[in-house]
Structure 1
Amino acid sequence: MNTLVFFLYKFAIVPLAFMLLQLVRPFLKGKLREMIEDKNTGLYRIKIKNSEVELAAARPIWIHAASGEIEYARPVIRELKKQYPYLPIMVTYSSPSAKKILESLHEVDLWCALPWDIDFLMKRFIKKWNPRVLLFSRTDVWPVLVEVAKKERLTAALFSATFADNSSRLKGLTRYLTKYSLDHLSEIHCVSAEDIQNLDGLKLHVPLKVSGDTRFDQVFHRLENPKALKSNLMPSLEDFIFIAGSTWPEDELVLLPALEKLQGMYLRTILAPHETTAGHLEHLENQIRALGMKSVRYSQADAWNAGDILIIDQVGILAELYTWADIAFIGGSFKKQVHSVMEALAAGLPVMVGPFHRNNREALFYQKKNYSSGMVVQVVHTSADIAVLLQRMKKQQDQVPHIKEEIRAEIGKNRHSTQRVLSSIEKVLSEC
């Protein structure tokens, strides 16, 4: 059955999808059209002075990260460059959203769009760049690619892999394609034992290991190498700080009434919207004003007065802002799916999430973990829920340093997964 499903995928589904996308491409806009054109042109960027021939001769380490999965690959890339500075690193992506991040990664020598999952295109790509090893970050293991890689004797492995028990990859006909793909890998590094258990039904013949989640290493690296914040806005140790990170309008409709109820309580609030467009910021300021509250924009503020909501209108500093706070709410969880809770947890914060959080394994896992007087992650459904939790936390403000240290210690248990992954492929690299 696995071979039959793969046969249909390789000789029917992919060719038909390819032709259809080429036909509709002129009528498409945005990321989908950009993705098609990147794949068609074989877009790539070389960030060092070597030629294509020299890079291929050096046999790069190849990492594939679909899009946001690059965050799981970053610590692996950084550590590989430390251990093997003479080896070039090549990263492929599926979504154009990854390009902005890849531009900023100095350790990456070459990045490019992953070719279409078609046999002769994958063969041509592998022969052109002659990689030593192929590492998949988190997900996005392409069936034809791994089949070709195995035929070309290119070792391929998956790291930071997670498979929820309700994953579509483990159901229906897709499960056969998943099994076929994963069985072509040399090893799979899962986040947890639960992921391995969820793969049991596939009866894989590839070694499975629990190596942890490499993104935690990236989060801690970021905290240990922070970007500079405006020192004149830094709160004092006596302040009680609530931060709402990566919020959408649906989140703000619940958050702002909660803050209105708490105007009598000494509380400083940082509001970091996911979208910082001029229109959204103005709408947000009008909402705050209509509720009888005041706000100030981070980029314009010379001081942060008590009672003012600090609106973050600058991207890229949220991880650092979490270190200012005492408790957090993570956005997206009243919209469709919650954003990452890792940064807030690594900063030691108790975290609130709305009802739409089941996409995030940490949001689920840390509901089962307690600090000395509550759950690490707490689900809220209404403005009243948020107000109650903020009041409760405010009453035990003297315990906040201990609570934050307790949570940091718990989250710190997730460190060093990068080393566990790389220790497994050292032998492969030494033999190349």
Structure 2
Amino acid sequence: MSRGLARLALTGYRVAGILLYPLAGPYLTYRMFKGKEDRHRRSERLGHASAPRPRGPLVWAHAASVGETMALIPLLRELGRRDIHVLLTTGTVTSAELVKNRLGDQVIHQYVPIDLKFPMKRFISYWQPDACITAESEIWPTTVMELARRRIPQIRVNARISDRSFARWRNNDNLAEALFGKMALVVAQSDLDAERFRDLGAWPVLVSGNLKGDTDPPPCDLALLERYRQEIGERKTWAAISTFEGEEKAAAGIHKALKSRDGQLTIIVPRHPDRADAIEEMLKAQGLVVARRSRNDPLTAETDIFLGDSIGEMGLYLRLTEVAFVGRSLTGEGGQNPLEPAMLGCAVLSGSNVQNFRDVYSNLVRKGAARLVRDVEMLAKAVHYLLGNDLARRKMIDAGQETVTEMRGALSVTVKALEPYINPLTVSARLQPRAAAAQ
């Protein structure tokens, strides 16, 4: 794509956004009825604030999903320790619930406005951020251009770019340069990611490692954990977590194949809990007894599947097992974060489609902490082997925790890279109370 066509494409995108703005309300209403929008806070998606803007420096941080939110939490807490107000936007109901549970009033949470001119202009005019920090890989043209027009620094941290996204941007190289070139700083997860961001026009680009290695293990209710452990008793357990469509059926098949030999309880935690009704129906059609966390069902000796259909309780599910298959890797594509099960003492299994977490899996596999499987049959054999071999399982668990420890350090590198932007804000924030007192 030529530079002229790139400019024309961006202009067309903005104009289309203006023309489509009247449809934004009905679109959000449709999503609300599908359970994908918060009915009480829908106006935030149109840029209307539901909280006051505090005095002093404010950084706008954006994390699209639960995984990106988790990665940002240590960094956001560091900004708070420096007396900088943090406005955190997320794009999903699930991630909003996570922010409420994990950060509380440490940040101001809003749903991110849709990427149209009027909502984004309204949002930025109200909040007047001193900088914008986004996580990982999303690029929204209207947001990028509006921030650039106001000369608000745009910083991308824990940045990665998938094979598919990179190929798409390379086919539109001038458009990519027009957007990625607006970044004030990119802090990438890996050397490969850094090289790709540079190729697309970003500069400067640094490498930090993965911020997810610096996150704390997900918490859980200890009383609830003890209750479920007592109900499970001596039964062996394994978990299929962050599953996508098709992977729950695979887990059910593995459970049925191994039940007569291992007598295990299978824990299934779908990536999207709103699919739980359909998953339960599928499991019952196969003659399996299902207990659901959302119903607070007890785990009895007859329970086949514990369906983890709650939000923000991954720490509970992972503490109930020592073998975890991480989904979006057999029937889905790209993979999900394996660091949480590794840090919580699980031997990690995954399909081979883990492009979005290539470096993390490379480290885990090299250390013997994770094993990639080709298909459902190979996964069933791996689950059976680990459930029956305490020594092999323990070696994988120990290797996983060692690998997570070695991967820590991305937070300190990221904070150091951000200092030219956040240090002046810290000074301004700490001078404000004295200035106010002197008046």
Same fold (TM over 0.5): yes
Superposition deviation, residue 185 in structure 1? 1.9
Specify the alignment match of 1:74 in structure 2.
Answer: 73
Partner of 2:315: 319
Deviation at 1:108, TM superposition (A): 1.2
Q: Partners in 2 of 1:394 and 1:313 — Cα distance? A: 20
**Residue matched to 1:65:** 63
Measured against aligned partners, the alpha-carbon deviations of 1:184-223 in whole angstroms (never above 9, x if no partner) come to 222110001111233343354x1111112223333xx134
Unaligned runs of 5+ in 1: none
Alignment of 1:11-410 (within 5 A): 11-20=11-20, 22-23=22-23, 26=26, 29-30=30-31, 38=43, 41-46=46-51, 51-52=52-53, 55=54, 57-68=55-66, 69-81=68-80, 83-84=81-82, 86-94=83-91, 98-104=95-101, 105-106=103-104, 107-114=106-113, 116-118=115-117, 125-168=123-166, 171-202=169-200, 204=202, 206-218=203-215, 221-223=216-218, 225-228=219-222, 229-234=224-229, 240-248=236-244, 250-274=246-270, 275=273, 277-278=276-277, 280-289=279-288, 296-297=291-292, 304-305=300-301, 308-315=303-310, 316-337=312-333, 338-354=335-351, 356-361=353-358, 365=362, 368-371=365-368, 376-382=370-376, 384-410=377-403
Q: In the alignment, which residue of structure 2 is the partner of 1:431?
A: 424
CA distance in 1, matches of 2:277, 2:42: 30
Amino acid at match of 1:361: R
Check 1:200–1:137 CA distance in 2 against 1; reply closer, same or farther (3 A cut).
closer
Preserved contact between residue 121 and residue 146 of structure 2 (Cα < 8 Å): yes
Preserved contact between residue 62 and residue 133 of structure 1 (Cα < 8 Å): yes
Amino acid of the residue matched to residue 340 of structure 1? N
Greater displacement, 105-114 / 407-416 = 105-114
**Distance 1:188-1:2 versus aligned 2 partners, 3 A rule:** farther
Distance in 1 between the 2:176 and 2:6 partners?
9
- 1:98 to 1:273, Cα distance in 2 relative to 1, 3 A: closer
Q: Shift in Å at residue 388 of structure 1?
A: 1.7
Q: Does the residue aligned with 2:241 lie in a helix, a strand or coil?
A: strand
CA distance in 1, matches of 2:292, 2:110: 36
- How far off is 1:158 after superposition? 0.6
The answer as to whether partners of 1:213 and 1:417 remain within 8 angstroms in 2 is yes
Judging by fraction of residues, say which structure has more helix. 2
Report the Cα distance in structure 2 between the residues aligned to 1:296 and 1:113, rounded to whole angstroms: 35
**Which residue of structure 2 aligns with residue 415 of structure 1?**
408
Check conservation: 2:48, 2:119, Cα contact below 8 A. no
- Amino acid corresponding to residue 75 of structure 1 in structure 2: P
Counterpart CA distance in 2 for 1:26 and 1:122 is 18
**Distance of aligned partners of 1:9 and 1:401 in 2 relative to their CA distance in 1, 3 Å threshold:** same
Residues 62-100 of structure 1 deviation map (CA, whole Å, 9 limit, x = unaligned): 11223443233222222222x22x332112345566444
Counterpart AA for 1:381: D
Q: Distance in 1 between matches of 2:44 and 2:19?
A: 13
**Cα distance change, pair 388–430 in 1 and its aligned pair in 2 (3 A):** closer
Where 2:221 maps in the other structure, the secondary structure is coil
CA change 1:159–1:404 in 2 (3 A) is: same
Number of aligned residues: 409
**1:183/1:24 Cα in 2 relative to 1: closer, same or farther (>3 Å)?**
closer
CA distance in 1, matches of 2:279, 2:365: 35
Structure 1 position 37, deviation (Å): 6.3
TM-score normalized by the length of structure 1? 0.79
Question: Closer, same or farther in 2 for the Cα pair 1:44/1:71, shift >3 Å?
Answer: farther
RMSD: 3.6
How far apart, CA to CA, are the structure 2 residues paired with 1:295 and 1:109?
38
Matched residues in 2 for 1:193 and 1:393: separation? 34
- Decide which moves more: 57-66 or 279-288: 279-288
Unaligned runs of 5+ in 2: 426-439
